[in-house]
A and B are shown apart, each in its own frame.
Chain A
Amino acid sequence: MNLFEHIGRYILMLKSVFARPDKGRVFWERFFNETVEIVINSIPLIAFLSFFMGGVITIQTASNMSSPLLPDYTIGYITRQSTILEFSPTIISLIIAGKVGSNIASEIGTMKVTEQIDALEIMGVNSIGYLMLPKILSTTLFFPFVIIISIVLSLIGGWFAGVTSGLYSTEIYLLGIRAFWEEDQNDLYYALGKTMVFGFLITSIASYYGYYTKGGALEVGRASTKAVVASSVAILLANYILTQLILI
């Protein structure tokens, strides 16, 4: 299959995803479970990564800015801006694509090759909607909250790294974090909007690769690799396009 056939089939699949659920109560139950499974369970890893990422950003920014012309609070300011604009939304989404994407593709892929999806269809369940809608909706709605957590922890990580290594004082760092916030707060909304798009792409693309798996365990493994690669590429492309559209 070429790229266009994949895209066509993906779009047709999305049409079934957004069909009315067979049973509302079952949908909400699955929505809740998937939110715990995908979103809540990702928080520890993301918290850990964000804290250290923030530390590295600040230290590198500080070590690259020895010019006396720049005020000290620039470090905090740059840390905040790069965290909000790119590091948290994009890098964390790529990591989620690796963790969550492979998980979803192999879960759905296994169901496919063991005929569990056929079993759903035989009963009269819309298998695409049943399996995918709760996942896609919960990531699209809740990943922005995860990213807020990531941003906060990244900034704390930056503070911790700078203060413990004596690069700046807490006051100076906080001054930088607060600087120009009035003008820049739209960047936060931009970041959160971006994350919604990324969350949607990750789960829908991973579901797609899982659902159209054919064969056996080997193919399930391949599908999950393809899902991670394709969703990462999609994130980077979408990031480029959204940045062009919104920031310029």
Chain B
Amino acid sequence: MIEVKNINKSFGDTQILFDVSAKFETGKVNLIIGGSGQGKSVLTKCIVGLHEVDTGHVVYDDRDFSEMERKDRKLIRQEIGMLFQGSALFDSLTVLENVMFPLKMFTKMSREEREERAHFCLNRVDIINKDNLLPAEASGGMQKRIAIARAIAMNPKYLFCDEPNSGLDPKTSIMIDNLIQEITYEYNMTTVVITHDMNSVLEIGDHIIFINKGRNWWQGNKESIMKTDNKEVVDFVYASKFMRNLREKFVNS
């Protein structure tokens, strides 16, 4: 479980996060949703330590990450996998080398063992026989899947995904969502997904946090989000007519 306790974060004079607290449970897909520019990415970067928090704590299974020295953080980071919005594959390395990279840096595995593990992860995301492709030669959806393979290579306990399905067609989006959900349950990971996509919210949201104006504005799950009458949540979730109709049907039934 990851616990976020009273995080405040400013850049210069502008405060972005106000006293955010949240819990992300193990074995569940936790979603962070909210409008553009409300602080979702900043919150996630604070949790993984790419930004330092001004005040507050981030606790990974009773280990206070915010208080740690760089070398202790390094150990926790090896338990974290992250899928970036733009995939962030290393563009000078091939697909196989990308997935083997963390293994090469942080394990004592032999080349054969690394290759075996990398192939296992690539198979898991349905990338087969693409070892020597460069990331630039792969399609957007493939890049996302390769990045997932790299993120799970080290068998992480914590998985973060920043907008895993932005820029993908609906079918591929759902495939990625389901993949994230499956591996979360399969390996009992603590997964945190940032998303804009209402499809994913209703599909995989075990636990949902709605960030608005830098605050933890509302939390619940995919059932309660259909029924809530929190104005900002309703405005965000039911921005489209289609979603409003859906809500009506759901509430009436």
Contacts and interface: CB of A to CB of B under 8 A. Distances in A.
A211 B82 CA distance: 21
Interface string B71-101: 0011101101010111011110000000001
B48 interface: yes
A119 interface: yes
Contacts of B104: 23, 26
A115 B87 CA distance: 8
B105 interface: yes
Interface string A90-134: 000000000000000000001100111011011111000000000
A122 B48 contact: yes
Contacts of B105: 22-23, 26, 123-125
Interface size class, chain B: 20 to 34
A124 B82 CA distance: 12
Nearest to A116: B88
Contacts of B74: 124
A222 B80 CA distance: 34
B86 A122 contact: no
B82 A119 contact: yes
A123 B88 contact: no
Contact of B77 (A23, A111, A123): A123
Given A23-B104, A115-B84, A115-B85, A124 B78 contact: yes
Interface in B40-89: 45, 48, 50, 73-75, 77-78, 80, 82, 84-86, 88-89
Contacts of A119: 82, 84, 88, 90
Contacts, number: 52
A190 B148 CA distance: 53
B84 A118 contact: yes
A123 B102 contact: yes
Contacts of A122: 48, 50, 77, 80, 82
Query: Is the contact region of chain A dominated by helix, strand, or loop, or is it mixed?
Result: helix
Contacts of A124: 73-75, 77-78, 105-106
Q: Which of A23, A115, A124 has the most CB of B within 10 A?
A: A124
A123 B86 contact: no
A47 B157 CA distance: 54
Nearest to B83: A119
A121 B76 CA distance: 12
Contacts of A22: 105-106
Contact of A115 (B73, B88, B102, B154): B88
A22 B78 CA distance: 13
Contacts of B85: 115
A75 B105 CA distance: 56
A92 to B, nearest CB: 27
A111 B45 CA distance: 17
A246 B104 CA distance: 46
Contact of B90 (A23, A26, A116, A121): A116
Contacts of B84: 115, 118-119
Given A123-B77, A124-B74, A124-B78, A118 B106 contact: no
Contacts of A123: 77-78, 101-102, 105-106, 154
Interface in B128-156: 154
Contacts of A110: 91
A118 B106 CA distance: 17
A118 B78 CA distance: 14
A104 B50 CA distance: 23
A123 B77 CA distance: 6
A34 to B, nearest CB: 11
B158 to A, nearest CB: 10
Nearest to B107: A23
Contacts of B82: 118-119, 122
Contacts of B78: 123-124
Given A115-B84, A116-B90, A116-B91, A121 B50 contact: yes
Given A123-B105, A123-B106, A114 B86 contact: yes
A186 to B, nearest CB: 42
12 contacts: A22-B105, A23-B104, A23-B105, A115-B86, A115-B88, A116-B90, A118-B84, A122-B50, A122-B80, A123-B101, A124-B75, A124-B106
Given A115-B85, A116-B90, A124-B105, 5 more contacts: A111-B90, A115-B84, A122-B50, A123-B77, A123-B78
5 closest cross-chain pairs (CB), A and B? A124-B77, A115-B88, A124-B74, A119-B88, A115-B84
